[in-house]
Amino acid sequence: MTEPFALSFLTGLLALNPAVSLGLIPTAAQGASRDHRQAFHYGLLGALTMLLYGLLAWLLHFYLVLPFNIAAYELPLLLLMMPGLNWSLARLLKPWPRLNRNLPLFYLNFLALAAALVLLQHPPATFGIMTLTLLGMAASFLVSLVLISHLRARLETALFPKPLKGWPSFLLASGILWIAFQGLLMLVK
């Protein structure tokens, strides 16, 4: 009975996080700080954005796009939701300045769109499974961002030849993180 729910969470956690499945780890890391606490708040906000945006995208897909047969306009509709979500989040998170000061972040919007598109490619049929898949994706994004901030902190103080500094060493570290996620995915498979 609980197996499909556990599987959908694990699929979100290990296979569908766009930072991993689409190779967006370096892009995700572009906005992440090397300060772990700040990176955690950034990641938390990203996870929240991903969760809410994915939820709205799923509702849009099943209650507007499919019934009215307007699949061609799904992308503009998805993007129209984004400024609204940013505005709502800014109001909602006013009591939490540590989260609120990270808004608006274009990279998080980019990743939220990626998460929604990955989700809608093979949309889960029930609301429960969709929510668990999204929760898995959001948790995975948070974990990957915190790991990236640790990698970034180490890489920036490590001794490298000059041409390897910056993006090249960072890409290598992102690749290792991608391999780690693939390894975990193999265990579940």
Partner 1 sequence: MFSGLGIFLAVAGTATVSQAFFLGAIVLLLLLFNSLVSAVVGELLQKKVGLWPQVILTSLVLSALSLFLTNAFAALPENTVILYALLAASPLVYSRSQLLSYSTTIDRALFDAAGTGVGTVAVLLALALVRQLAGQGRLANLIVFPRAPWPLLNTMFGGILLTGILLVIFNLVKYRK
**Binding map of partner 1 across residues 42-81, x = CB under 8 A, - = no contact:** ------------------------------xxxxx-xxx-
DSSP string, 8-57: HHHIIIIII-HHHHTS-HHHHHHT--SSHHHHHHHHHHHHHHHHHHHHHH
Two structure tokens written together for 169: 């060493």
Q: How many CB atoms lie within 10 A of CB 5?
A: 15
Task: Tell me if 17 contacts partner 1 by CB under 8 A.
Answer: no
Task: Candidates 10, 14, 16, 24: give the one binding partner 1 (CB under 8 A).
Answer: 24
Shortest distance in whole angstroms from residue 116 CB to partner 1: 9
In the range 132-151, which residues lie near partner 1 by CB under 8 A?
none
Task: Candidates 97, 128, 175, 183: give the one binding partner 1 (CB under 8 A).
Answer: 175
Whether the CA torsion 20, 112, 168, 158 is positive or negative: it is negative
**Cα–Cα distance measured from residue 96 to residue 111, given in angstroms and rounded to the nearest whole number:** 22
What share of residues in the chain are helix, strand, coil (percent, to 5)? 80, 0, 20
Task: Tell me if 183 contacts partner 1 by CB under 8 A.
Answer: no
Task: Candidates 63, 106, 126, 183: give the one binding partner 1 (CB under 8 A).
Answer: 106
Size of the site for partner 1 (CB under 8 A): 40
Q: Are 168 and 161 in contact (CB under 8 A)?
A: no
**Cα–Cα distance measured from residue 58 to residue 131, given in angstroms and rounded to the nearest whole number:** 10
Q: Which is nearer to partner 1, 6 or 158 (CB)?
A: 158
Stretch that binds partner 1, among 6-14, 53-61, 124-132, 161-169 (CB under 8 A): 161-169
Question: Packing angle between helix 106-121 and helix 36-60, nearest 10 degrees?
Answer: 40
Shortest distance in whole angstroms from residue 26 CB to partner 1: 5
Shortest distance in whole angstroms from residue 125 CB to partner 1: 20
Q: Applying CB under 8 A, which residues contact partner 1?
A: 22-27, 30, 72-76, 78-80, 82-83, 106, 109-110, 113-114, 117-118, 121, 162-169, 171-172, 174-175, 178-179, 182
